[in-house]
Amino acid sequence: MIELKKQVTFNIHRMGEDKKPYLETFQLECTEATTVLQALETIKADLDGSLTFRRSCRASICGSCGMFINNRSRLACRTKVKDMVDLNSDEELILEISPQKNQPVIKDLVVDITPFYEKIEKNNPFIQEGSEKVEQVDKTSYEQVNMVSNCIMCGSCYSDCTALAENKNYLGPAALAKMFRFVADPREGQKKKRLKELSKKNGIWDCTRCGLCIDACPKGVAPMEAIVKLRTRAIESGITNNKGAKHAMVFKNDLAKGGLLNEFWMILKTFGLFGAIKQLPNAVHLAKKGKIPPIFSEKVEGFEEIDAIFKQLKENPINVETKKEDDGPGAG
């Protein structure tokens, strides 16, 4: 069989020591087997030795080759060129590579990963002694912890996170997934203390649940699911005196009562009277658009089905300490 070989254009976002970003284009012949990392190494070896990027294992293990390739964060060693461009096409094949987002660029494709690591480090990423410690580690708890333990700290989720794009102080998906690893571990002695800390500003309730971290993660860690589980555990532990938990509880109660969210009461119950007053400009804006939420809501049509779900959950509560919560996407 003749090997398919095509000329591919690599548009690479670069930045030198003068901190001025520029775009540089390289042409390279690629086969169906060429990875983006191999292409970058060939460019560096044969075309421009100054091109700078991180890499080590070439096998999706070390997490160092994370970069932004064709509009998503990916590992360069795991990404084949043929999956980014159609090698069978007669059009010009263009691949765009830039450094990971949400982190300062040091040079070319290398970003400063200090904030990423600091957010993990400041939350004590190790088992702590305390009264909640349980000696027995069973299979179920292993399964809980196992998924998030696959993290290779590549930063892909951090780079694609929409909450971080708005708020640099947000802990981010990888740090929160790492914290779930400790909260879910029976040997951890400070679960409630951790959950209290994570329920503060910039923690679990700042996630927008956009799901991009799940798509970005090359190791199937599904950080957003870990964040949802942390939220569930926080509420179960009675850590509810914060806007995020209040919002979630009002939402659930509204659905249970009539199957419909009542935005009027939602704002009042989440933010309190003074907080709600601050939302008045938004309310005026909505009113101008004719979107005035009713003060009292009727039950929605087909409410019996919603009611049946809530009854089922009441009769068969989900135990957040067991594997059962892992059933289905976003469960927990």
E strand or H helix at 93, and its extent? strand 93-98
Q: Scanning residues 122 to 141, which ones bind ligand SF4 (CB under 6 A)?
A: none
Is residue 105 involved in binding ligand SF4 (CB under 6 A)?
A: no
Supply the minimum distance, in Å, between the C-beta of residue 116 and ligand SF4.
8
Closest CA to 253 of 235, 237, 239: 235
Structure tokens at 192: 């409630």
Structure tokens at 116: 């990423």
The entry of ligand FES, ligand SF4, none that residue 221 binds, CB within 5 to 8 Å by partner kind: ligand SF4
Main-chain dihedrals φ then ψ at residue 95, nearest 5 degrees: -125, 130
Is residue 56 involved in binding ligand FES (CB under 6 A)?
A: yes
Task: Render 52-85 in DSSP notation, one character per residue.
Answer: ----S-SSSSS-TTEEEETTEEEETTT-BHHHHS
Span of 56-64, 85-93, 129-137, 224-232 interacting with ligand FES by CB under 6 A? 56-64
Task: Render 157-225 in DSSP notation, one character per residue.
Answer: HHHH-HHHHH-TTS--HHHHHHHHHHHT-TT-S-HHHHHHHHTSTTSGGG-----HHHHH-TT---HHH
Is residue 72 involved in binding ligand FES (CB under 6 A)?
A: no
Is residue 234 involved in binding ligand SF4 (CB under 6 A)?
A: no
Contact 312, 256 (CB under 8 A): no
Q: Nearer Cβ to ligand FES, position 56 or 88?
A: 56
What are the beta bridge partners of residue 41?
A: none
Span of 53-61, 178-186, 199-207, 230-238 interacting with ligand FES by CB under 6 A? 53-61
Cα–chain-centroid distance for residue 63? Answer: 16
Span of 52-60, 133-141, 173-181, 201-209 interacting with ligand FES by CB under 6 A? 52-60
Choosing from 221, 230, 239, 250, the residue that interacts with ligand SF4 (CB under 6 A) is 221
Q: Nearer Cβ to ligand FES, position 77 or 184?
A: 77
Supply the minimum distance, in Å, between the C-beta of residue 183 and ligand SF4.
16
Is residue 62 involved in binding ligand FES (CB under 6 A)?
A: yes
Is residue 201 involved in binding ligand SF4 (CB under 6 A)?
A: no
Choosing from 26, 28, 63, 270, the residue that interacts with ligand FES (CB under 6 A) is 63
Supply the minimum distance, in Å, between the C-beta of residue 206 and ligand SF4.
8
Is residue 60 involved in binding ligand FES (CB under 6 A)?
A: yes
What does DSSP assign to residue 237?
A: T
Supply the minimum distance, in Å, between the C-beta of residue 126 and ligand SF4.
17
Choosing from 58, 200, 269, 323, the residue that interacts with ligand FES (CB under 6 A) is 58
E strand or H helix at 254, and its extent? helix 243-258
The entry of ligand FES, ligand SF4, none that residue 325 binds, CB within 5 to 8 Å by partner kind: none
Angle at 222 between CA 184 and CA 320, to 5 degrees: 30
Main-chain dihedrals φ then ψ at residue 152, nearest 5 degrees: -110, 15
Contact 143, 326 (CB under 8 A): yes
What are the beta bridge partners of residue 31?
A: 5
Is residue 208 involved in binding ligand SF4 (CB under 6 A)?
A: yes
Asked whether the CA dihedral 329, 224, 240, 181 is positive or negative, the reply is: positive
The entry of ligand SF4, ligand FES, none that residue 30 binds, CB within 5 to 8 Å by partner kind: none
Which residues lie near ligand SF4 (CB under 6 A)? 151-157, 160-163, 173-174, 177, 207-213, 216-217, 219, 221, 223-224, 227
* Residues found near ligand FES in the complex (CB under 6 A): 55-58, 60-65, 75, 77
